[in-house]
Amino acid sequence: MTGELFLTFVRRLIFAFLFIGLVASLQAHGQISGTIGIYTREIPVFTAQSTTLASTNFPDFGFGCNVLSYQTSGFTGTIDFDWVPPVAPPAVSTPIILKQASYSQADTAVHTLQLGGYYPNLRSTVTPSGGSLNAQYTAQANSCPIVASGLGSNGDASPIVPDRNYQAAGFLTATTLNIAGPTLTGDTIVITSFDISFAGAPSAGNLQLAWGTSSACSTKSGPSWEMLTTASTSQFLTVLVPQRSLLVSAYPYACFTNNSGVTLSLNVAYASVHGL
């Protein structure tokens, strides 16, 4: 009888442990339900780099979304994502440039290059002709688009939404006005279009858009847009040539000069964008 009681006790004890384990398992499953783990990685690539350098290959963990974040300091030159495919016929001995940003004028800002897809032996090469930059590589195991939604000379950029407007009525001839400036320090001004309406027939002269160091427009770059005027110039013009601030940190203010010989009205659509 004593043996039977002991066996019964052992059975009940085992059942109790199994029941406790089952409850704990269900509770743990409920706590992490809906949570997905995505492997990510971040490594430094360049630090104050002012000479041409190719980085070492980035870690190969099967990443499907690669991002290069870089910060320029008076930088001119190029930076890229490049890739050397595994050696196989036909063998490739030089890197293939998959994505590249190019700066022909000194730039001081924060930028990113994004690359979707799996590329073993992926790396970055910087080729400065002036200034320097820092760069960091970040990646995640899930996918992202093979290219960004917008591409330009300076790399990735989404389409710009001009959510700001400047309007100047009674814009006198032989006058320069600041028509747009950065909302935040380091912003890029992007003018998407502007309308010009003359109060009368203009004379031989010009209209110019240049970039100033301050809203006073006392120190300006050369014009990035110019139009000659004559007595036969149409009295209403729509200009659809996008303009972007030059040398972001040094010349961020858009300065418009009226030398048409007549008063005009000006309407400007633009945006002040960070991180371009």
Annotate 187-226 with DSSP letters as a single string: PEEEEEEEEEEESS---SEEEEEEEESSTT-SSB---SEE
pLDDT tens figures, 165-217 = 999 999 999 999 999 999 887 788 999 999 999 999 999 999 999 999 999 99
pLDDT at residue 36 is higher than 60: no
One-letter identity of residue 256: F
273 C-beta neighbours (distance < 10 Å), count:
20
Q: What is the pLDDT of residues 210-265, one digit of tens each?
A: 999 999 999 998 899 999 999 999 999 999 999 988 766 688 999 999 999 999 99
pLDDT at 196 (0 to 100): 96
Best-predicted range by mean pLDDT (2-16, 81-95, 238-252): 238-252
The domains of the chain, with CATH numbers, are 40-156 (2.60.120.380), 164-273 (2.60.120)
Tell me the percentage of the chain whose pLDDT exceeds 70.
81
Give the range with max mean pLDDT: 20-29, 70-79, 102-111, 147-156.
70-79
pLDDT value of position 173: 96
Instruction: Report the predicted TM-score, pTM, of the whole model to 2 decimal places.
Output: 0.65
Q: Are 190 and 242 in contact (CB under 8 A)?
A: yes
Least confident piece of the model among 18-22, 99-103, 130-134, 196-200: 18-22
Short-list 47, 45, 262, 246, CA closest to 153: 246
Compute the average pLDDT of residues 52-69: 91
| Counts of helices then strands in the chain (DSSP H, E) | 1, 17
Q: What is the mean pLDDT of residues 18-24?
A: 58
